[in-house]
Amino acid sequence: MGPPPGVTRLLDTSTLVDFLRGDTNTIAAMQHADVADLVTSTVVVEELFAGTALARDSHLELFRVESLLRPIRVLPFDEKSARAAGLLRVMLQQKGTPIGNGDRMIAATAIAHDASMVTSNVREFARVPGLIVEDWRAA
């Protein structure tokens, strides 16, 4: 049984890496999800491509990442996302629970586009107020 349809889910870098590394729970959840409900962020794409450049066989890894991303809609880090990220930065700093720039930008993109966050980095994203976080690896 996969995730319920009709909910937009932003796939974080950790989830896509879990898939590429063969995590069975993540693979099963992605296979059962409606691809129309799955999105990712331009920030995630940047992180994945940085990883391909560091891989032992960068050409193979590039092919694998490009193949994985092909059916997934990529949401831009646009002005709406930037505004959400700025507010989130101040809010988390004031609470004493900041998160890294990349993760903040990814979370803000999810918030700006009314998406839940699918990540195995729950510890970081759980600090974001109002963000629905799912961990398919732990499912």
Output the domain CATH number for residue 18: 3.40.50.1010
Number of domains in the chain: 1
Segments forming the whole domain that contains residue 57: 9-134
Residue 44 lies in a domain: yes
Nearest-angstrom CA–CA distance, 137 and 55: 22
Return the exposure string of 92-126: e unless at least 16 CB atoms fall within 10 Å of the residue's CB, then b: beeeeebbeebbbbbbbbbbbbebbbbbbbbebbe
DSSP annotation of 31 reads H
Where are the alpha helices (H) located in 33-100, listed in sequence order? Answer: 42-54, 58-69, 79-95
Q: What was the pLDDT predicted at 1? A: 41
Q: What was the pLDDT predicted at 98? A: 94
Residue 30 lies in a domain: yes
Its pTM stands at 0.92
Residue 2 lies in a domain: no
Q: What was the pLDDT predicted at 127? A: 93
Q: What was the pLDDT predicted at 4? A: 61
